Amino acid sequence: MTSKNNLLKKNFIVETINLTKKYGDITAVNNLNLQVEEGTVFGLLGPNGAGKTTTILMLLGLTEPSSGQAFVAGYDSTRNPIQVKSIVGYLPDNVGFYEEMTGIENLLYTAALNGIPKNQAKIRIEQALERVGLKDTGKRRVGEYSRGMRQRLGIADVLVKDPKLIIMDEPTLGIDPEGIHDLLNLIKDLAQQDGRTILISSHLLHQIQKICDKVGIFVEGKLMASGTIDELQHQLAGGSDHVEIELKTVPFDDGLLKICQKINGVLNYQWSEDYLLLQCEQDVREELSKKLYENNYLPLHLQLRGISLDSIYLRYFQKEEGYGGGFS
């Protein structure tokens, strides 16, 4: 590796080059080129089965890629998994602990696996438990812990090794709203106060977007878009050659269609359950409002798709139904 390359890589704590993983005929991860800058919170967003966990396992060197390479802090994950794993803390999806051992004992085992001397480990564990708010529960058996407590113990477990990069797989899954709030604050804290890089995988965009500096949208093994949320909105809106407008009016009848067809730039239409979807060459909302007013139609809902994050989300995650309920 030349020194120039080193300089280039310096900023990216995570970098993948054409990373691909195939299971038989199924391609779980397809030519992934992911870059995560040091000190940022990166959200890897995608529906279930998009290949997020597979990507994470490849980053940690726990699964071998079919082709391509993954680098963490300049180390090849496949060739130097030990170096990679010593600077990365991984909080798996639905983290598990040894139930018959106490929280502290579980963390002591992690510390021992990391080769941390016992007296030092005890200090670190105490600090980590205090940080996640489990100071008093550390001596209880993990079998008695609630789901939220386990998740917090998982974060303490990650903190014991003092990682540069923390990877969290679906950290908010199965936790009550208040718990999620606390958890997200804690994650934000880890990034801002400690300066750690955090990679969060989730299918719950709304929960994660508050704390992410950058997000990558990951669907069917491919990274569809990546950048800050603002960038992403532009990228997605500008990326297509037409815009879509959602429209709902009173009255909501065939007359509406006639008005719309007269407007310059409207290419196509589609009735959906709640609204009329117009495909246009450009943003025609101004003209549309005027025409509606002239014809005594009252607009109830008029929105440009591809601009709001919700619609980005919807566009890519349409196949996944069921979590749309919370959107408004």
Partner 1 sequence: MEGLAKIIGSNKGLSAVVAKEVGDHLSGKRFLILSLLIIVICLGSLYVAASTIRSSVGRDQLDFVFLRLYTSSGSSMPFSFISFIAFLGPLIGLTLGFDAINGERDRRTLSRVLAQPIYRDALINGKFIAGVMVVFFMIFGLGFLVAGLGIILTGVPPTFDELCRLLAYLTLSVIYISFWLALAILFSLLFRQTSTSALAGIAVWLFLAFFATLLAGMIADGIFPVSDNSNVDQVLANDKVKKTLSRLSPTFLYEEAVVTIMNPSVRTLGPILLSQAVGAIQGTLSFTQSLLLIWPQLVGLIGATLICFALAYINFMKQEIRA
Residues forming contacts to partner 1 in the complex (CB under 8 A) are: 53-54, 57, 60, 62-63, 82-83, 85-86, 88-90, 92, 94-100, 109-110, 112-115, 154, 157, 161
Pick the closer one to partner 1 by CB: 106 or 233: 106
Q: What angle do CA 75, 212, 70 make, to 5 degrees?
A: 20
Long-range (24+ apart) CB contacts under 8 A made by 226-231 are 226/34, 226/35, 229/309
Distance of alpha carbon 1 from alpha carbon 35, whole angstroms: 19
Tell me the closest approach of the beta carbon of residue 108 to partner 1, in angstroms: 9
- Which residue's CB is nearer to partner 1, number 71 or number 316? 71
Q: 94 or 318, CB closer to partner 1? A: 94
Least distance from partner 1 to the Cβ atom of residue 174, Å: 13
Closer Cβ to partner 1, 21 or 214, answer by number: 21
Question: Could you give the 3-state DSSP secondary structure of residue 248?
Answer: strand
CA distance 218 to 124: 35
CA separation for the pair 275, 296 (Å, rounded): 18
Q: How far is the CB of 22 from partner 1 (least distance, A)?
A: 13
Closest distance to partner 1 from the beta carbon of 99 (Å) = 7
Closest separation between CB of residue 118 and partner 1, Å? 11
User: Distance between CA atoms of 294 and 24, rounded to whole angstroms?
Assistant: 60
Judged on CB neighbours under 10 Å (0-12, 13-18, 19+), 320 is middle
- Rounded distance, CA 181 to CA 173, Å? 12
Question: Closest CB to partner 1 among 161 and 214?
Answer: 161
